[in-house]
Amino acid sequence: MICVKNKNEIQLQKKKRIYLDYAATAPVRKEVVKEMLPYFSDKFGNPSSLHSFGLEAKAAVSNARKTIANVINAEEDEIIFTSGGTESDNLAIKGVAYANKDKGNHIITSKIEHHAVLNTMKELEKEGFKVTYIPVDKYGQVNPKDVENAITDDTILISIMHANNEIGTIQPISQIGKIAKKNDVIFHTDAVQSFCHLPIDVDKFNVDLLSVSSHKIGGPKGVGALYVRKGIPIKPLFNGGPHEFNKRAGTENVPGIVGFGKAAEIASKEMKKESVRLTRLRDRLINSIISSIPGVRLNGHPKNRLPNNVNFSFIGVEGEAMLLMLDSLGIAASTGSACSSHDLSPSHVLLALDPDPVKAHGSLRFTLGHETTEEEINYVIKMLPGVVEKIRKITPRIEGVTTI
Partner 1 sequence: MAKKKTNVKIKNSNKKKSSSISNNVTNSSLYTEKVMEHFMNPHNMGEIQNADAVGEAGNPVCGDVMFLYLKVKNNRIEDIKFKTLGCAAAIATSSMVTDIAKGKTLDEALKITNKQVAEELGGLPGVKMHCSVLAQQALKNAIENYRKKHKN
155-165: burial string, b at 16+ Cβ within 10 Å, e else: bbbbbbbbbbb
Least distance from C-beta 17 to partner 1, angstroms?
13
Task: Give the binding range for partner 1 (CB under 8 A) out of 73-81, 93-101, 216-224, 320-328.
Answer: 320-328
Over the window 270 to 309, marking each residue x when it contacts partner 1 by CB under 8 A and - when it does not, the resulting string is ----------------------------------------
Residue 351 contacts partner 1 per CB under 8 A: no
Residues 6+ apart with CB under 8 A from 100: 156, 157, 186, 233
Residue 393 contacts partner 1 per CB under 8 A: yes
Eight-state DSSP code of residue 141: P
Overall residue count recorded for the chain in this entry: 404
Task: Give the binding range for partner 1 (CB under 8 A) out of 87-95, 148-156, 269-277, 313-321.
Answer: 313-321
Task: Give the binding range for partner 1 (CB under 8 A) out of 83-91, 122-130, 223-231, 393-401.
Answer: 393-401
Q: What CA–CA distance (Å, rounded) separates 183 from 264?
A: 33
Over the window 1 to 20, marking each residue x when it contacts partner 1 by CB under 8 A and - when it does not, the resulting string is ---x-----x----------
Minimum CB distance to partner 1 smaller for 202 or for 326? 326
Q: What is the largest CA-CA distance in the chain?
A: 74
| Catalytic-residue membership of 339 | yes
Give Cα separations from 11 to 194, 328, 334, 381, 384 (angstroms). 36, 8, 22, 21, 19
Least distance from C-beta 161 to partner 1, angstroms?
26
Residue 401 contacts partner 1 per CB under 8 A: yes
Minimum CB distance to partner 1 smaller for 192 or for 323? 323
User: Which of 55, 59, 276, 339 lies at the binding interface for partner 1 (CB under 8 A)?
Assistant: 339
Residue 346 contacts partner 1 per CB under 8 A: yes
Residue 318 contacts partner 1 per CB under 8 A: yes
8 A C-beta contact, residue 264 and residue 127: no
CA-based nearest residue to 232, from 124, 154, 158: 158
Residue 37 contacts partner 1 per CB under 8 A: no
Give Cα separations from 88 to 39, 120, 174, 280, 360 (angstroms). 24, 11, 21, 32, 28
Single out the catalytic residue among 339, 394, 398, 401.
Answer: 339
Residue 25 contacts partner 1 per CB under 8 A: no
Minimum CB distance to partner 1 smaller for 174 or for 402? 402
At 392, give phi and psi (nearest 5°): -65, -30
Minimum CB distance to partner 1 smaller for 10 or for 59? 10
Q: Specify the amino acid at residue 304.
A: N
Minimum CB distance to partner 1 smaller for 187 or for 314? 314
Give, to the nearest 10 degrees, the angle between helix 374-394 and helix 254-292: 60
Minimum CB distance to partner 1 smaller for 37 or for 338? 338
Binding to partner 1, residues 118-157 (CB under 8 A): none
Binding to partner 1, residues 359-378 (CB under 8 A): 361
The burial of 13, by beta-carbon neighbours within 10 Å (0-12 exposed, 13-18 middle, 19 or more buried), is given as: middle
Least distance from C-beta 358 to partner 1, angstroms?
5
CA-based nearest residue to 153, from 197, 195, 103, 116: 103
Total binding residues toward partner 1, as defined by CB under 8 A:
29
Q: What CA–CA distance (Å, rounded) separates 26 from 21?
A: 8
Minimum CB distance to partner 1 smaller for 276 or for 401? 401
CB count within 10 Å of CB 282 equals 23
Binding interface with partner 1 (CB under 8 A): 4, 10, 316-321, 324-325, 328, 337-340, 342, 344, 346, 357-358, 361, 393-398, 401-402
Any idea which residues carry the catalytic annotation? Answer: 339
